[in-house]
Structure 1
Amino acid sequence: MSEGLARDHLRASEGPSDPAWDAFVVATAGGDVLQTTRWAEVKREVGWRAARLSFERDGIVLGGCQLLLRDLAVGRSIGYVPRGPLASQGDRTVTDAVLEALTDFARRHHVLYLKVQPPVNREDMGATLLRHGFVASGLEAAPTATVRIDLRPPEEELLAAMPASLRLHIRQARRRGVTVRSGGPADLGAMAELIAATARRQAGFAAYPARYYEHMWRSFSAIGQARLLIAERGGAVLAFALLILFGESALFKAGGWSGLESRAHPNELLHWTGMSWAREHGFRYYDFDGIHPTVARAAQEGRVLPQPAANRVPHFKLRFGGEVTFFVPAYDFTPQRVMRWALRGVAPRLGGRRAIAGRLLGRS
């Protein structure tokens, strides 16, 4: 630890509750729901446990990170830090100290492979990670781009930013009897069925078990940070959207569609309703929480979008008029030399297969 941080206290925490840490994440630039203890509890449903490393001075958190760990055989594990580490006011000295503690933790706790995806807008962290022994990652386990709609303009302007065909579909959905309502515990069974139907129909969509999405809704709705929207027609549930509310954003974290009633356009009305609700409740952004990077890059550069094959979701998200945002690239740390060699061989083959890489490395 540097001399400037000699008075700081390193605190390690693995418990399910850490109010001081969560308060720091909410208050810090770049703070993300993926760094909260509630998200760690959701990931526990699919085999991950969490450890938090935080630096404090007089009881105030200065920086740190939440690390997700998946245990392997014989006391080994792999680790993932999504949208971290965080530091108050982006303090680079604090960031250095956190990374020093993180790599030391990886060595002492036999973490064979560690992935770090820095916070949004912290491109400067790349050089710092390289200095601490990380290398640019060849494995894409989480979204590297997203689409965000700025909700501050009037609704008329938001609609005007969409293609005329999408505005028509929203109106047609209403005329054809589609309604969108708030969901609750009684809808969790239908939500699970819609996720399963989507996974069967949509190429490249690897769904988690139903209990994962149910835990996500229960955990965040308990503190008023989740909104479940259900699209119906004639009493039949057609689609759902699960929004996680954090900071300035309503994040589209999960969704599903039966595949039925496509001419009634339930998904178009579903997301427009989500945008309208988020705007009315003071959120600045409606975030689709991920888009295929090839499509995102083409959209950002003004090129003709790649033609959709079986999966039309990226094109659907772009139709709502949002801005494409790229995340800071991920970096990897492997304490053992033999693992570095293995990673160099495996990464190029897995890098383009996001569903597999996500399963292995903790898709967000």
Structure 2
Amino acid sequence: MNITHTHSPRVVPSTDPRDPEWDAWVARHPQPHPEQSSGWGDAQRIRGWEPCRWTLREGDRLLGGVQVLVRPAPRLGHVAYIQRGPLLLEEAAHLAPLLLQTLRTAAAQRRWAYLSMVLPYQGGPSEAALRAAGYFPQPALLPPQTSEAATLVVDLTPPEEEILARMRRTTRRYIRQGQERGLLIRSGSESDLDTFGQLMLALCARRGVRSNIPAGEFLHRVWQAFHPGGHIRLFLAQHDARPIAGLIVLALGTWARAWRIGWSGEAPDLRPNESLYWAAMRWARESGHRHFDFMGFETNLARALAEGRQPSPSSLSSLAQFKLGLGGIPMVLRPFQCRFFHPLVQLLLRAGGHRLLDWPPLRRLLPRRLLAGAHAG
């Protein structure tokens, strides 16, 4: 049902580094993504991103809004990045074009060359509104190339025994054996973040990938943004009084999200990661959250499972087996969207030139900063 207008809807810029009213609204939204909070945007400044924010209002009532991260790109002007937005109340979905027009105006005024939009899990602008505003599904060549296009979600509303029963039998055994063999799971504080950062980098090194967030000061900024409201939790697995693995959870509204994990590789027989995730799920459930999000899963596998196709266990990666063992339900997310703002580029794309963006040799022609620097983690 559409809103009955007593005031004309309007878009208002939010210029303060922290916006408590917006953050409280994001936390109440059915899709409360932490990347849309002002604290997240403020933390990203240390990485060279400048947050911009607009709220959609009718009178004094907040109906929606969007936070955009912007950074300079050599020879291009600026690149802009929306993580899990725009957010809109369901009853205000028809006002999405007003927000999209605001972004177009900002792009012209602030010299944005390119915008990448990673949509909320559900809701946000419709496909028709995005097409009408010049957006198109983002080719794999363009950034961000590491955001998840699928995820797993655990329903936290049943009793603990039922949540455990949905896990694989081997996963339940690993959790029980960890407890029996002296693995301790404890809550961490800001003083443990540097240790966690080393665990995170160690896990990335073993997987042969680069971490898309830095350890060190950035972790502290994120902690300082979310800890005062109780929206961040660090879990550490200890063996012989030494942390060997850790998990950071970001929690807003009804959702708790496994944001980052780290593991030194020590004591693999104790399976510390299964125990970490179970401790995080228990805490999230006891804290009133209803969904536990793994924040990433193999897209093709998620699509197959959602369609009822069961792959053979031998075809699954160890990471996929680990996550599926914890009982999550696959969710395939909406395709990323993007838009170029130069009129000639837009004309070329409308003529079918977007197919060139799927051409691998084009990677050599695009600025490295555009390809590598547009993911905000």
- Measure, in 1, the Cα distance between the counterparts of 2:297 and 2:34: 18
**In structure 2, what is the equivalent of residue 264 of structure 1?**
270
- Measure, in 2, the Cα distance between the counterparts of 1:53 and 1:212: 24
- Asked whether 1:202 is paired with 2:207, we answer yes
**In structure 1, what is the equivalent of residue 192 of structure 2?**
187
> The residue matched to 2:373 in structure 1 has which SS?
helix
> The residue matched to 1:143 in structure 2 has which SS?
coil
- Asked whether 1:149 is paired with 2:154, we answer yes
- Decide whether aligned partners of structure 1 residues 171 and 312 sit closer, same or farther in structure 2, where only a CA change above 3 A counts: same
TM-superposed deviation, 1:232: 0.4
- Measure, in 1, the Cα distance between the counterparts of 2:164 and 2:157: 12
Matches within 5 A, 1:1-364: 7-73=8-74, 76-122=77-123, 125-139=126-140, 140-210=145-215, 211-301=217-307, 302-304=309-311, 312-337=318-343, 339=345, 344-349=355-360, 359-364=372-377
- Measure, in 1, the Cα distance between the counterparts of 2:56 and 2:124: 22
- Measure, in 2, the Cα distance between the counterparts of 1:92 and 1:194: 42
- Measure, in 2, the Cα distance between the counterparts of 1:108 and 1:84: 21
Is the 2:86–2:125 Cα contact (8 Å) retained in structure 1?
Answer: no
Superposed CA deviations along residues 288-313 of structure 1, whole A, max 9, x for unmatched, are: 1111212322333333158579x632
The answer to which of 59-68 and 105-114 deviates more is: 59-68
TM-score, normalised by the number of residues in structure 1: 0.89
Is the 1:28–1:89 Cα contact (8 Å) retained in structure 2?
Answer: no
- Measure, in 1, the Cα distance between the counterparts of 2:149 and 2:332: 6
TM-superposed deviation, 1:337: 4.5
The answer to which of 20-29 and 281-290 deviates more is: 20-29
TM-score, normalised by the number of residues in structure 2: 0.86
- Measure, in 2, the Cα distance between the counterparts of 1:183 and 1:351: 45
- Measure, in 2, the Cα distance between the counterparts of 1:200 and 1:192: 12
- Decide whether aligned partners of structure 1 residues 346 and 119 sit closer, same or farther in structure 2, where only a CA change above 3 A counts: same
- Measure, in 2, the Cα distance between the counterparts of 1:129 and 1:350: 28
Is the 2:67–2:85 Cα contact (8 Å) retained in structure 1?
Answer: yes
The answer to which of 202-211 and 241-250 deviates more is: 202-211
Root mean square deviation of aligned Cα: 2.7
Is the 2:79–2:370 Cα contact (8 Å) retained in structure 1?
Answer: no
Is the 1:250–1:278 Cα contact (8 Å) retained in structure 2?
Answer: yes
- Decide whether aligned partners of structure 1 residues 198 and 170 sit closer, same or farther in structure 2, where only a CA change above 3 A counts: same
Is the 1:113–1:335 Cα contact (8 Å) retained in structure 2?
Answer: yes
TM-superposed deviation, 1:347: 4.5
How many residue pairs are counted as aligned between the two chains?
A: 357
Percent of residue pairs identical: 29
Superposed CA deviations along residues 222-250 of structure 1, whole A, max 9, x for unmatched, are: 22111110000111211000011111111
